[in-house]
Structure 1
Amino acid sequence: MLPVGLTAKAIQLCAAGFAAAVSPPPTAYAITVHTGAMLRQQPATAADAEATVRDLIALGADFNAGPLEIAGRDFATYGVTPTSVFDACALAHADEGQGAVPPSSAASVSSVAALVRRAFGARITDTIRPMNASYGARYSWHKYGQAVDFVPAGGVKSINRDQIRALMGQSGIRLIELLGPGDRGHSNHWHVAFARPGQVIDRTRPIEEDEDWIVNVAQADVPSSTTPLDPEAPPAPASDLVSAVKAPPGWDVFGREEWRAAHGGGS
C-alpha cells in the first residue's frame, strides 16, 4: 500500500505519460544506489532494469528505483515489485482492491507485510533473504519467501501473540512460526512465517540452540550471491552492477544507519 503522497505522484505521472508537463521528467529506468553496490551505468531497457533491481535486493544494497524513487527496503511494505517499480500507471493502481487477504488467496510476503503495516502501523525490517545469507537462522523461512519481520509503531511490546494470531486467522493466513519477545534473537522485533496453499507441515521445526540469529561480525563482509531471487529472471548486465562492501542486513536498522553514516550516506 503506497503512502498517499506517492500514490498522488504516480497518478500524475501516469496521466502525463512522462510528458514535458512533468517537471523534471523522470528517467524511465532510474536507479540510485546509496550503499552495498555500485552501478557503472543506468539500465537502458526494462529487462535490464528489473534484473538489476533483483540483484540489488539479493545483495542487500540500499537503493531507490523508478519514477517515484521508492527505496528497495520498502518494496514489501508497499507491495512493489522489481517490475512495477518502473511503471507509474501500475503504481497508481497498486492499492485498488487491497484490504485483508481473502481466505481463498495465497499469502505472500507483500500481502502479509501490508497487513501488519495497516493493522499495527508496523515498520517492516526483513522479508526475503538469499539462500546463502550469512545472517539469521540457517533454515529460515525468509529464504523461502515465507516470512516477514516487523516492529509495531508502538514498540515491540505494544502488541501480543494473540493479536497477531487473530489478525492472521481473520485474513485466512496459516501461521507456521511466530517469534517475538521471549524467543532467542527476537527481543526487538516480531517474526511471522506463513504456509503456502496446500503446504503440509507435520510440525513446526524447533529452533536449534546453536542457530546464528545474530549477525556474525567476522562474516559481515562475506559477499552474498548475486543470483536473482526469481530463478527465471535474467541476470543483471555485468557492465551495470559492481559489488561493493555489503551493508548490514535489512532487519538491523541501527547497524544500517551507522554503516550509511560511515560511508557517506547520512542518517
Structure 2
Amino acid sequence: MSPATVLQAHAARLAISGRPILDGIDLELYAGEVVALVGPNGAGKSTLLAALCGDVSLDSGSITLHGLELPKWSVKELARARSVQMQDAHVSFAFSARDVVRMGRAPWAGSALEERDDQVIDAAMHSTESTALAPRVVPTLSGGERARVAFARALAQETRIIMLDEPTAAMDIRYQELLLTRTRERAAAGATAVVVLHDLSLAAAYADRIVLLHAGSIRMVGTPREVLRPEILEEVYRHKVAVIDHPESGGLAVVPLRPHLNTHQAPQEELV
C-alpha cells in the first residue's frame, strides 16, 4: 500500500521584487517520512518551508494539505495540523522556557486535550533534555538552548506534521543528533517531518528523502543515495566533494575536498 499524501505543492511560484524565489515547485510529502530540504544559500529552502506551512502566499500554483488548499484552512485548524520551528524565532519578552513550550499548547485551548497540557509539556521538555532550562528566562539562554526549547514547543503542539527550519544550526553534536532522533521517532509514529538542513551528512543519516533545491527549483528528489552523488552536489554547490560510506554507521558522509590543505605538499621555506 502506498503512503498517504499529506502535503502537495503544484507549480508553486513566488517572486520577490521580480526575482524568482520559488519557480515551479512540484512536491508531494507523505505520512511517516522525514524529508530534508537542502541546497546552497539562496536556493529557496526556507521560503519553500514557509510556503508549505502557509506563512507566505504564492504568486501562482497551489499547496494543499489533505487535499484542501492552505488558504481555505482556518488559523486554528492549521495550528492543530502542523507545528513550525523557524530559524529566527526570537522571544522578546521575559518568558521562561516552560512558558514558551506551553505556547505550543495554545491550539488545543478549550478542547478535551487541554487537560493534558502539563503532562505534554513535561514530556516535550524531557525528550529534548531541556527540563533544567524550564525556569530560565529565554533571553538568557544560549542559541542552542533556545533551539531546544523551540523544538520542545513544536513537539508539545502534538501535530501530525512538524516543520523545522535549520533547527540544528546553533546546536552542538549531541543535541543535533538528539533533535533529529526525536524527529525520526515522530515520523515512525506516522507523522510527516520536513527539515531544512545545511549539513548534508545529517540529511543523509536521518532523511528518508532529500529535496535538493537550486535557484528556486528542485534539482532532484530521492533517497540520500540517489541525490547525494558527487557530480550532482558539485554542480549545485560549485565545490568538489567526496561522498563516502561511514565505516561504522554505514551511512553516507559528505566531505568537502580541500586540495589547498594537502598535507603532503612540501613545507614552505621559513620566513626570515
TM range (shorter): 0.3 to 0.5
TM-score (norm 1): 0.33
Larger % of helix: which? 2
